[in-house]
Amino acid sequence: MKTIKATPTTKGNDDLAAAFASLGKASAHGFQTRLRINAAKRAFDAINARNRARRRAMVKPENAASILDKLPMPCDRALHVITPGNFIFCDLITAIAGRFPVRRLLISTLSFSKKNADALCRLIADGKVGSIGMLTSNYFAKTNAEILAHFEQGAAKTGKIQIGIARTHAKVTVFEFTDEKRLTIETSANLRSSDNIEQVSLFADVPTFNFHAEWIEQVINENPKT
pLDDT the model gives residue 31 = 42
Least confident of 27-36, 81-90, 133-142, 191-200: 27-36
In whole angstroms, what is the distance from residue 101 CA to residue 197 CA? 29
In a domain, 11, yes or no: no
Q: What is the mean pLDDT of the chain?
A: 81
pLDDT the model gives residue 33 = 42
Q: What is the pLDDT confidence band of residue 70, given thresholds at 50, 70 and 90? A: confident
Can you say whether residue 191 is alpha, beta or left, with left for phi > 0 and alpha for psi between -120 and 50 degrees? alpha
Mean per-residue pLDDT for 212-225? 94
Q: What is the maximal distance between C-alpha atoms in the chain?
A: 57
pLDDT of residue 29 exceeding 50: no
pLDDT the model gives residue 36 = 47
SS (H, E, C) the chain: CCCCCCCCCCCHHHHHHHHHHHHCCCEECCEECCCCHHHHHHHHHHCCCCCHHHHHHCCCHHHHHHHHCCCCCCCCCEEEEEECCCCCHHHHHHHHHHHCCEEEEEEEECCCCHHHHHHHHHHHHCCCEEEEEEEEEHHHHHHCHHHHHHHHHHHHHHCCEEEEEECCCCCEEEEEECCCCEEEEEECCCCCCCCCCEEEEEECCHHHHHHHHHHHHHHHHHCECC
Q: What is the pLDDT confidence band of residue 15, given thresholds at 50, 70 and 90? A: low
In a domain, 25, yes or no: no
Burial 48-72, CB ≥16 within 10 A → b, else e: eeeeeeebeebbeeebbeebeeebe
In a domain, 201, yes or no: yes
Q: Number of folded domains in the chain?
A: 1
CATH number of the domain residue 127 falls in: 3.30.870.10
Identity (one letter) of the amino acid at 14?
A: D
In a domain, 84, yes or no: yes
In whole angstroms, what is the distance from residue 113 CA to residue 151 CA? 9
Least confident of 58-62, 125-129, 216-220: 58-62
Mean per-residue pLDDT for 122-129? 97
In a domain, 49, yes or no: no
Q: What is the pLDDT confidence band of residue 178, given thresholds at 50, 70 and 90? A: very high
Mean per-residue pLDDT for 182-201? 89
Least confident of 73-77, 105-109, 182-186, 219-223: 73-77
In a domain, 52, yes or no: no
Q: What is the pLDDT confidence band of residue 55, given thresholds at 50, 70 and 90? A: low
pLDDT the model gives residue 143 = 95
In a domain, 34, yes or no: no
In a domain, 5, yes or no: no
Mean per-residue pLDDT for 35-52? 58
In whole angstroms, what is the distance from residue 151 CA to residue 162 CA? 10
pLDDT the model gives residue 27 = 42
Range of the domain at 87: 60-222
In whole angstroms, what is the distance from residue 13 CA to residue 20 CA? 11
pLDDT of residue 92 exceeding 60: yes
CA 71: distance to chain centroid? 15
